């Protein structure tokens, strides 16, 4: 029987009581201590439910992150509200903040989420961090007086490295860099210039780690997933993957279940994957409420094994189920059932192979 590794991407929809508490906190109706207690409670409940799915690797479900992208800067005082706007296909948008003065420093590090998660489980815990390229979008186009972009980038690289290294030092099973802006970069700039700039920036961070450390670092990409909509699903993987696999990481987490032309994706992976890299294919569509059967997931992986060497194949979810804290488009129970199906379907594929 072959063993195909399987891992979650990250976020799980927050329980209703936590959603309500987060809103109450913004209105000063509850204290920070009350909110912290509920964060811990939701994290514990999420981990118990993840363990119940049979998942061999656990995450904290990002229960206490405001979003996958903004957790490092949440609460910083040198931010303005008029940052980059990310449009989604259904018409809604997300807007990043903008840096108003230097220096740039993370206020929060992902290792704190890892430490909280490890209180509640003996299983391996992975930790997601945001990419340096996403954080680079905080620097304003007009610059900052007395704080040149070159100094911002130097500070950014140091902070991004520290975010990853703290998790590795705390014995994270692995660290997943969320690089969801990869496909969006191609949509904004089809010449590939922006994507190449993003990949170069992320590689400058990755190159600060040893080969052994990079084997425990992965990169996640998807076309966005927010309120059941995406920002760049129309960008073909064939345009992205030749550059994407140039990232000096050991693991690659790819949205796949939601793709229409799966054979073209598999062919592109086969032509671009390098020795020592492992691809975790998304086999659960987080934007579709229908719960996949284990047999459907098995068949996706058996087809993938025709293109990807077995020692370079894994399974995951297409994306986090709730990358932004206020996204309740997916029911919490649905997320856990999809994960259970992924775990069982991956075992079936291993048995078949």
pLDDT in tens, 111-163: 999 999 999 999 999 999 999 999 999 999 999 999 999 999 999 999 999 99
pLDDT in tens, 287-338: 999 999 999 999 999 999 999 999 999 999 999 999 888 888 899 999 999 9
| Alpha carbon distance 350, 139 (integer Å) | 46
**Of 238, 301, 235, 233, which Cα lies nearest the Cα of 264?**
238
Domain range list for the chain: 16-352
pTM exceeds cut of 0.85: yes
**Of 309, 282, 318, 304, which Cα lies nearest the Cα of 349?**
304
| Alpha carbon distance 231, 222 (integer Å) | 9
- Regarding predicted confidence, which is higher, 43 or 1? 43
Which pLDDT score is estimated for 322? 92
Over the Cα atoms of the chain, what is R_g? Answer: 19
DSSP state, residue 73 = G
pLDDT in tens, 44-80: 999 999 999 999 999 999 999 989 999 999 999 999 9
Which pLDDT score is estimated for 1? 73
The CATH class of 16-352 is alpha beta
Residue 44 vs residues 60, 77, 113, 325: alpha-carbon distances, Å: 8, 31, 12, 17
Task: Give the confidence band of 181 by pLDDT, cuts at 50, 70, 90.
Answer: very high
* Cβ-based neighbours of 275, under 8 Å, separated by 6 or more: none
Peptide bond into 312 cis (omega under 30): no
Which string of DSSP letters, residue by residue, matches 115-184?
A: HHHHTS-SS-B-EEEE-HHHHHTTS-TT-BTTB-HHHHHHHHHHHHHHHHHHHHHTT-S-EEEE-THHHH
Residue 244, pLDDT > 90, answer yes
- Judged by phi (left if over 0) then psi (alpha if -120 to 50, else beta), residue 62 lies in left
Burial 133-143 (b: 16+ CB within 10 A, else e): bbbbbbbbeee
């Amino acid at each position: 029987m072959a063993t195909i590794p399987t891992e979650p991407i990250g976020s799980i929809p927050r329980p209703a009581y936590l959603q309500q508490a987060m809103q109450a906190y913004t209105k000063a109706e509850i204290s920070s201590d009350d909110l912290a207690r509920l964060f811990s409670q939701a994290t514990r409940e999420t981990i118990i439910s993840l363990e119940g799915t049979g998942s061999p690797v656990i995450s904290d479900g990002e229960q206490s992150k405001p979003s996958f992208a903004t957790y490092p800067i949440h609460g910083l005082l040198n931010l303005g509200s008029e940052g980059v706007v990310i449009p989604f296909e259904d018409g809604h948008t997300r807007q990043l903040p903008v840096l108003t003065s230097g220096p740039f420093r993370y206020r929060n590090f992902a290792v704190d989420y890892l430490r909280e998660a490890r209180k509640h489980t003996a299983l391996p815990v992975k930790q997601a961090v945001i990419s340096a390229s996403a954080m680079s979008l905080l620097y304003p186009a007009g610059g900052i007086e007395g704080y040149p972009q070159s100094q911002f980038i130097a500070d950014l690289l140091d902070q991004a490295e520290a975010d990853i290294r703290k998790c590795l030092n705390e014995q994270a099973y692995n660290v997943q860099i969320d690089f969801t802006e990869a496909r969006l970069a191609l949509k904004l700039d089809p010449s590939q210039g922006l994507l190449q700039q993003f990949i170069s920036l992320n590689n400058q961070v990755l190159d600060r780690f040893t080969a052994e450390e990079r084997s425990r670092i992965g990169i996640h990409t998807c076309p966005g997933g927010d309120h059941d909509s995406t920002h760049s699903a129309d960008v073909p993987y064939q345009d992205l993957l030749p550059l994407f696999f140039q990232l000096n990481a050991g693991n690659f987490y790819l949205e796949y279940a939601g793709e229409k032309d799966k054979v073209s994706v598999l062919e592109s992976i086969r032509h671009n994957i390098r020795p020592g890299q492992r691809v975790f294919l998304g086999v659960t569509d987080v934007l579709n409420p229908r719960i996949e059967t284990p047999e459907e997931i098995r068949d996706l992986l058996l087809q993938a094994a025709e293109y990807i060497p077995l020692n370079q194949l894994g399974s995951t979810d297409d994306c986090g189920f709730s990358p932004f804290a206020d996204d309740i488009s997916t029911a919490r129970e649905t997320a856990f059932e999809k994960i259970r199906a992924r775990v069982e379907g991956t075992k079936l594929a291993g048995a078949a192979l």
